[in-house]
């Protein structure tokens, strides 16, 4: 996607005491295509000097979802992005760029796939595992 997109917050789900999943419905464009593992950068406002602050978050929803996406945010006290997200209300809009990134699965795997992740690093991995389950790849003998 080129340029800036807009999306509206439709759901907040508390995952742990300090981690939330935020789901956004696309406003403009009406749909995006992304690969499991990619990310979006969200405009979180400007700092005291007026510098635009962007924060990047892995897309946590399956790549089959084209009209919405979810991100997982660990709420860090004093964090610029954390303050932005905790201040969002249902119906609030964000501006974002993306999808971007190359942390995606190969189009085909001839062997095992090994992925290591913890905490919010699981956000892109869960859709990747879901994508792997839909594939019909055969292992060489």
Ordered structural domains, the chain, with CATH = 5-134 (2.40.30.10)
Contact 115/128 with Cβ under 8 angstroms? yes
Across the range 67-95, mean pLDDT stands at: 95
Q: Evaluate if pTM is beyond 0.75.
A: yes
Contact 27/8 with Cβ under 8 angstroms? yes
* Nearest alpha-carbon partner for 104 in 115, 95, 94: 115
Reading the block at residue 105, the tokens are 């699965």
Percent of the chain with pLDDT over 90: 60
Inform me whether the pLDDT recorded for 96 exceeds 70.
yes
- The residue assigned the tokens 């997982």 is 72
In Å, what is the CA distance from 99 to each residue of 34, 37, 103? 6, 10, 12
Across the range 87-115, mean pLDDT stands at: 86
């Amino acid at each position: 996607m080129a340029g800036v997109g807009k999306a509206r917050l439709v759901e907040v789900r508390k995952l742990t005491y300090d981690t939330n999943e935020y789901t956004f419905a696309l406003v403009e464009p009406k749909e995006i295509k992304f690969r499991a593992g990619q990310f979006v950068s969200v405009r979180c406002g400007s700092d005291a000097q007026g510098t635009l602050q962007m924060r990047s978050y892995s897309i946590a929803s399956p790549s089959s979802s084209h009209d919405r996406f979810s991100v997982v945010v660990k709420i860090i006290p004093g964090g610029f992005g954390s303050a932005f997200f905790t201040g969002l209300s249902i119906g609030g809009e964000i501006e974002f760029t993306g999808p971007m990134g190359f942390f995606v699965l190969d189009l085909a795997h001839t062997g095992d796939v090994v992925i290591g992740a913890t905490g919010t690093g699981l956000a892109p991995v869960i859709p990747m595992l879901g994508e792997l389950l839909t594939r019909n790849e055969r292992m060489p003998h």
